[in-house]
Structure 1
Amino acid sequence: MQLDFSYYNPTKIHFGKDSLAKLKDELSDYGDTVMLTYGRNAIKSNGLYDQVISILNKAGKKVVELSGVMPNPTYEKLMEGAKLVRDNDVSLILAVGGGSVIDCAKGISVSAYCEEDPFQKYWVEFQDVANKIVPVASILTMVGTGSEMNGGSVITHDEMKYKAGRVFPVDVYPKFSILNPEYTFTVSQYQMVSGVFDTMSHLMEQYFSDEGVNTSDYLIESLLKSSIANVRVALNDPKDYEARSNIMWNATLALNTLTGLSKTQDWQVHMIEHQLGAYTDCAHGMGLAAVSLPYYRHIYSNGIDKFVRFATEIWGVSPEGKTKDEIALEGLDALEQFTKECGIVTSLEELGATKDMLPKIAESTIILGGGYKKLTTEEVQGILEECF
């Protein structure tokens, strides 16, 4: 472990089939008004909405609702929620849904009492949060982002054509998160495998950095192998509780900051996908899958030893009689085959992108430098062109 670190995660997790029963006790720590934040109709059709409302009513809470949070939450929706918080003196934002709903809730929590333009201040300039923060909690229904146990908030500004991610400090993390794998049973196969690739991408972004192998790398390898094994089970039986519970917990652990300790980390795939999403509104995990393979094939030689390890440890590639390049590329071929096996989309055309978008996407992509190679804008466009 070559890099110093401090680690603290304040989110309390209630996990399992009976975890919703913990909500009543948690509510006693907060004031009279709760803003229930959710997507469209999923939590109403599966009965979860009625259960949550019943618990809130029995706890004597006034309920304000922000519904219709979209898969890539917009700044406009965030500001709608911020106004509701101010107008109703909301004391807790309870996000019920997937990562997009929780991301939006965290964005609302820091924006409601910001006297400036919150998007410019927090997502563009990355300024510290000095204003009042409204507590957030979550009930997770779709997995992948890990937003239930971190400070991440990805918001799309439609007018700017800019999808920006911000990792806020621990006081913005959900105070508690309720994780019942059964709530994910009705998620479509498309969304399930998109979420699994999102989890895997989080792990790979942290894995493909630094020389050598530390404890965090061993954790990442285990979580990658668990994700691969369990999604295969879930594809055959979407209601296999053990598989779905492992998939859910993998996603949480993949981005609760534990697996990134003592790692420089990459995150270039996410930066490219954010702008791809700003122009196409594609499912996040699918966008990551489309970008990942051409990106890793572009940079693998700069971190050859780790890509060799990825091939041998994750995909079981035999190294006998092969060069390092051959081993590494065979590992990436195995990753590609896995995406096809799962029905994960890897073509930008299928995600709604057109070739005339590519220069704009490339030009607006933030270039990082934590991985094995710092890209140029021209290289980003070349990687995007490889996705067609």
Structure 2
Amino acid sequence: MLGNFTYCNPTRVHFGEKALEALSGELAGYGGKVLLAYGGGSIKKSGLYQQVVDILNRCGKEVFELPGVMPNPTVEKLYEGCRIAREHDVDLILAVGGGSVCDYAKALSVSAWCAQDPWEKYYLRMEDVDNRIIPVGCVLTMVGTGSEMNGGSVITNHRQKRKIGHVFGSNVMPKFTILNPTYTFTVPMKQMVAGIYDAFNHICEQYFSGTDDNTTDYIAEGLMKSLIVSSRAALRNPEDYEARSNIMWAATWALNTLLAMGKSTDWEVHMIGQSIGAYTDATHGMTLSAVSLAYYRFIMEYGLPKFARFAVNVWGVDPRGKDDRALAQAGLEAMEAWMKELGVAMNIRDLGVTEDMLEGIADGTFLLSGGYRELTRADVIQILKASM
């Protein structure tokens, strides 16, 4: 490993079927006013909503509800939450739901007491937090984003056709997270596979960079292999606890900052995917799957040794008689076959992208320098066309 780094992840994780029992103890560390943020009616149908509310009541908390957090949280929803959080001067934001609710809670935590427009300050100018931060806790119901153990938060502005993520520091990370794999059993199959691919691509974004022998690359390969094995088991039986628990834990470690230590990272698939999401509001994991193969085939030549290693160490491609290029191609073919097994989106047209959107999507794509090649706007257009 060649990089210098400082590693800290302050999120305390409670994992397993009895994880919710830890919520009472966590709540004891905060004041009496809790803002409960959640999405639609799924947590009420499953009974989780009532379980959480009962615990909050037993702990003597005054609860203010913020329902309706959408899969791609909007800036308008953020402003709504800011008004509620300030009006009641809440002590804790408790996010119950998937990664989008966790993302939203973190955005709200830094925005509620921001003296400026938080969209402009945090998402356009990418400034640091210099105001009061409301602590966040999470009860996760869908895996994929890793938002339950990191400082990232993605917000969509439909009017500006921008979907932007800001990775905040450790002071914004959730203070605690409840991870019970059984909460994911009721997630629709489409959302399950989108989350699996989201987690897999998080690992890819950190893996396909650098040329040194890096410990985290070995960890990344193990996590990818675990996701592949467990995803196939979950496809056969969505209520396979062992498979769903492995997927949940791998997804958390895929983006809790560990894999980024000591190396550069790519994230260009996410930049393109997020820009697509701003135009289509498509499921995040599907925007990633729809552009991944075109992107990796585009940059493969610039990182051939790593793509060859990916083929052998992750997909078990036999290296005998193959040079790096042949191995790299075989690895991406194996990845494509697995993606088709999952049933994720394989092109952007199926997500609602039309030819007339391509220029705007390219304009909304941040061009980063951490991968094997820094893209140009023309490169993005070429990748988008190859993804149609």
Q: Does TM, normalized by the shorter one, top 0.5?
A: yes
The residue number in structure 2 matching 1:323 is 323
1:229 aligns with 2:229: yes
User: Secondary structure at the residue paired with 2:314?
Assistant: helix
1:230-379 equivalences in 2 (<5 Å)? 230-379=230-379
| CA displacement 1:191-229 (0-9 Å, x = unmatched) | 111001100110000000000331100000000000000
The residue number in structure 2 matching 1:112 is 112
The residue number in structure 2 matching 1:6 is 6
The Cα shift of 1:319 comes to 1.6
The residue number in structure 1 matching 2:39 is 39
1:200 aligns with 2:200: yes
Share of identical aligned residues, percent? 55
Q: For the residues of structure 1 that align with 2:249 and 2:375, how far apart are their CA atoms?
A: 33
Q: For the residues of structure 1 that align with 2:75 and 2:352, how far apart are their CA atoms?
A: 22
Across the two proteins, how many residue pairs are aligned to each other? Answer: 388
The residue number in structure 2 matching 1:68 is 68
* Runs of 4+ deviating beyond 2 Å: none
1:385 aligns with 2:385: yes
User: Secondary structure at the residue paired with 1:171?
Assistant: coil
The residue number in structure 2 matching 1:153 is 153
The residue number in structure 2 matching 1:88 is 88
Q: For the residues of structure 2 that align with 1:61 and 1:386, how far apart are their CA atoms?
A: 53
User: Secondary structure at the residue paired with 1:293?
Assistant: helix
Contact kept in structure 2, 1:287 and 1:346, CA below 8 Å: no
Q: For the residues of structure 1 that align with 2:234 and 2:181, how far apart are their CA atoms?
A: 12
Contact kept in structure 2, 1:206 and 1:266, CA below 8 Å: yes
Q: For the residues of structure 2 that align with 1:92 and 1:352, how far apart are their CA atoms?
A: 38
Q: Taking structure 1 as the reference length, what is the TM-score of the superposition?
A: 0.99
Q: For the residues of structure 2 that align with 1:243 and 1:319, how far apart are their CA atoms?
A: 29
Partner amino acid, structure 2, of 1:327: L
Contact kept in structure 2, 1:212 and 1:306, CA below 8 Å: no
Q: For the residues of structure 2 that align with 1:131 and 1:219, how far apart are their CA atoms?
A: 36
User: Secondary structure at the residue paired with 1:186?
Assistant: coil
The Cα shift of 1:343 comes to 0.7
Q: For the residues of structure 2 that align with 1:374 and 1:256, how far apart are their CA atoms?
A: 25
Q: For the residues of structure 1 that align with 2:364 and 2:94, how far apart are their CA atoms?
A: 33
User: Secondary structure at the residue paired with 1:265?
Assistant: coil
User: Secondary structure at the residue paired with 1:286?
Assistant: helix
Q: For the residues of structure 1 that align with 2:204 and 2:317, how far apart are their CA atoms?
A: 18
Q: For the residues of structure 2 that align with 1:91 and 1:159, how far apart are their CA atoms?
A: 32
CA RMSD of aligned residues (A): 0.7
| CA displacement 1:344-386 (0-9 Å, x = unmatched) | 1111111111111011101221100100001110110110111
The residue number in structure 2 matching 1:128 is 128
The Cα shift of 1:128 comes to 1.2
Partner amino acid, structure 1, of 2:66: L
Contact kept in structure 1, 2:2 and 2:212, CA below 8 Å: no
User: Secondary structure at the residue paired with 2:350?
Assistant: coil
| CA displacement 1:254-299 (0-9 Å, x = unmatched) | 1001111111000011000110000001111111011110000000
Gaps of 5+ in 1: none
1:161-240 equivalences in 2 (<5 Å)? 161-240=161-240
Partner amino acid, structure 2, of 1:25: G
Contact kept in structure 2, 1:143 and 1:248, CA below 8 Å: yes
The Cα shift of 1:51 comes to 0.3
Contact kept in structure 2, 1:277 and 1:283, CA below 8 Å: yes
1:49-68 equivalences in 2 (<5 Å)? 49-68=49-68
Q: Which moved more, 1:346-355 or 1:241-250?
A: 346-355
| CA displacement 1:240-263 (0-9 Å, x = unmatched) | 100000000000001001111111
User: Secondary structure at the residue paired with 1:109?
Assistant: helix
Q: Taking structure 2 as the reference length, what is the TM-score of the superposition?
A: 0.99
Contact kept in structure 2, 1:36 and 1:63, CA below 8 Å: yes
Contact kept in structure 1, 2:230 and 2:243, CA below 8 Å: yes
Q: For the residues of structure 2 that align with 1:355 and 1:311, how far apart are their CA atoms?
A: 33
Contact kept in structure 2, 1:24 and 1:59, CA below 8 Å: yes
Q: For the residues of structure 1 that align with 2:116 and 2:187, how far apart are their CA atoms?
A: 38
Q: For the residues of structure 2 that align with 1:189 and 1:128, how far apart are their CA atoms?
A: 38
Q: For the residues of structure 2 that align with 1:58 and 1:223, how far apart are their CA atoms?
A: 39
Partner amino acid, structure 2, of 1:72: N
Partner amino acid, structure 2, of 1:170: S
